[in-house]
Structure 1
Amino acid sequence: MPSSQEVSAWRPRVAGVVEVFHAHFTEHAYPMHVHDVWTLLIVDDGAVRYDLGRRERGTPRDTVSLLPPQVPHNGSPATAHGFRKRVLYLDAPLLDETLIGPAVDDPDITDPLLRRRVGQLHAALALRGDELEAESRLALVGERLRGHLRPGERAGPRAGVREPRGGVAHSLRELLDERVLDGVTLGEAARQVHAHPTHLVRAFSSAFGIAPHQYLMARRVERARRLLLDGMPPAQVATAVGFYDQAHLNRHFKRVVGIPPGRYAGRGTAPPRHGA
């Protein structure tokens, strides 16, 4: 089989994510090397064989691998057709350095929910304008990783406990209502309402049945509907209500309303009257 490699890499505008790296290798083998950040790896096709902590490891498709900073490791295809992987390089403060030892001992995690959340995080990071969604998903991924490496740790509210009215969930909703146009990062919101980011995401979702990023986008879509019915072109509506661009508006508008904003605007006239 001829050698093949496909690589894409970018730095998203999301605090805590240093780099996103997607690759398909058929023959490339990484030599022993280190990173100064955490490496969160999922393999979508094939498998990777690697050495970490003087032990041979492997990454079947249903696992999530977390390689700690400053610990040497390598990597090579474990199947004849190579491997396709998605990697997040996460800033060291996201995961405490006391977790390095547990990660060396058990870097490969079998957890379907964690894997699904990592995939959702990758999808959010690939979209401009959805940084709050990516930040929220990153907070939940970090919480679950800490739960595996330090069993019993949980940053969110206890299951079944409803937050009193006026708590951090309601404070966040007020903040989102004030910042529909400009938006807010999860870190800034956490500082303003004095709550851990993961707790904030969980408390809001529990209180209102919707994630913070979904609430913000729904508020923007609602404003967009009014402007479209007033005759404003979709491209102008997008920037007027806080979306990154028209493609960003189209994506969320269709998700909420069921049709693109252009078609919605075309229905802005009153239906014909039938009889008296």
Structure 2
Amino acid sequence: MTTFESESLDAEPQAGLLPPSLGRQAFQGLERSCDDGIRTAPPLPGIERMEAWFHGNAFELHRHDTYAVGVTLDGVQSFRYRGASRASLPGQILVLHPDELHDGGAGTEEGLHYRILYLEPSLLMRGLGDGAVSLPFLRQPVFSDPALREDILGLLGPLDRGLEQLAADDLLARLAQGLARHAGQPLKPLGSLAWRQVDRVRDYLEAHALEAVRSEELEEIAGLDRYALSRHFRAAFATSPHRFLLMRRLGQARALIAAGEPLAEVAAATGFADQSHLTRHFKKAYGVTPGRWAGLVETGRRPGAAAA
């Protein structure tokens, strides 16, 4: 579909701290191994994504030149960082600043399951916008924030596929803003809303909903970089360019389903990778599967259905 192949990025929002079974609930269908192991995702520019299962001490003291931003899924994630012992519980976020010495491993005999991304600082600065004067430094490396966790899990979605470019851009902008907020770093005001630019982008997305839309195209149309565009578009329309495009595709899919088209053909015609990909997004948007929707439409067409 786009530069980064599409997969679901819209993690279901959760309230408060998630239970110890987060790993099994949030990523249904993943085969979890009892052995220690690591899985990596297809690379994105400036981002590495990884999933890990460990027992005991996993990593000795080390440092790297990227941000480490992760979510603990199962178990207790224990590590030493800036002279103190830390622990992250299921559902909590951990953020390690570049070039800070740390280790890591499971804090209990039950083991540890987590997902983490490594983010180049330059990419984070771009996400913060022109007003950023320094990289966010979080004094508390472990914290709870359901909304930010949702964004992080979006970037850490199914690792067997890439991420759709428009969604990745929006999530990175939101991640940058979230880290700055937790660092106590003042955020730059949006300033005058770029209505003319975002209207042009909205019209373009409407007209090209079934095509592969790249961030570079939208930057050229708007005259804004992709992260500024994401902020202005969300302020104007309460959604991201990626979500707007996705909903246009789903609207067309719904019309084709109502016309009796086979679901596999509907998925292909509306830009989804396959029928299961369409089903995941359709259910999140409308609360029912495409098959259930087709059945409801068919029932509504029967004589006397309205009276019943």
TM-score normalized with structure 1 length: 0.76
Moved over 6 A (4+): 124-129
Post-superposition CA distance 1:222-252 (Å, at most 9, x none): 2223333444321122121111211111222
From 73, 76, 84, give the equivalent of 1:56.
84
Residue aligned with 1:181, SS: coil
Asked if 2 retains the 8 angstrom alpha-carbon contact of 1:47 and 1:58, the reply is: no
Match of 1:99 in 2: 135
Residue 32 of structure 1 is matched in structure 2 by 61
- Which is greater in Rg? 1
Match status 1:272 vs 2:308: no
Q: 1:18 aligns with which of 48, 64, 70?
A: 48
Separation in 2 of the partners of 1:265 and 1:64?
Answer: 40
Partner in structure 2 of residue 252 of structure 1 = 281
Q: Name the counterpart of 1:115.
A: 149
Quote how far apart the aligned CAs of 1:58 are. 0.8
Q: Per the alignment, do residues 45 and 248 of structure 1 end up closer, same or farther by CA in structure 2, a change over 3 Å counting?
A: closer
Unaligned runs of 5+ in 2: 1-32, 126-132
How far has the Cα of 1:112 moved from its partner?
4.6
Structure 1 gap ranges (5+)? none
Which residue number corresponds to residue 147 of structure 1? 181
Map 1:180-219 to 2 at 5 A. 180-186=209-215, 188-219=217-248
Query: What's the C-alpha RMSD, in Å, of the aligned pairs?
Result: 3.4
Cα distance in 1, alignment partners of residues 235 and 270 from structure 2:
27
Query: In 1, are the aligned partners of 2:169 and 2:227 still within 8 Å (CA)?
Result: no
Give 2:116's match in structure 1, choosing from 80, 83, 87: 87
Answer yes or no: is 1:137 the counterpart of 2:171.
Answer: yes
* Identity fraction in percent: 30
Q: Is the 8 A contact 2:181 2:187 kept in 1?
A: yes
Partner of 1:5, secondary structure, is: coil
Partner of 1:157: 190
The answer to whether the 8 Å contact 1:172/1:189 transfers is yes
Change (3 A) 1:139 1:14: farther
| Residues 24 and 13 of structure 1, relative CA distance in 2, 3 Å threshold | closer
Q: Residues 72 and 113 of structure 2 are in contact (CA less than 8 Å); yes or no, is this contact kept in structure 1?
A: yes
SS across alignment from 1:99: coil
Segment drifting more, 7-16 vs 33-42: 7-16
Deviation at 1:89, TM superposition (A): 1.6
- TM-score, scaled to structure 2: 0.69
Residue in structure 2 matching 1:5, options 35, 51, 69: 35
Alignment match, 2:205: 176
Q: 1:265 and 1:111 mapped to 2: Cα distance?
A: 38
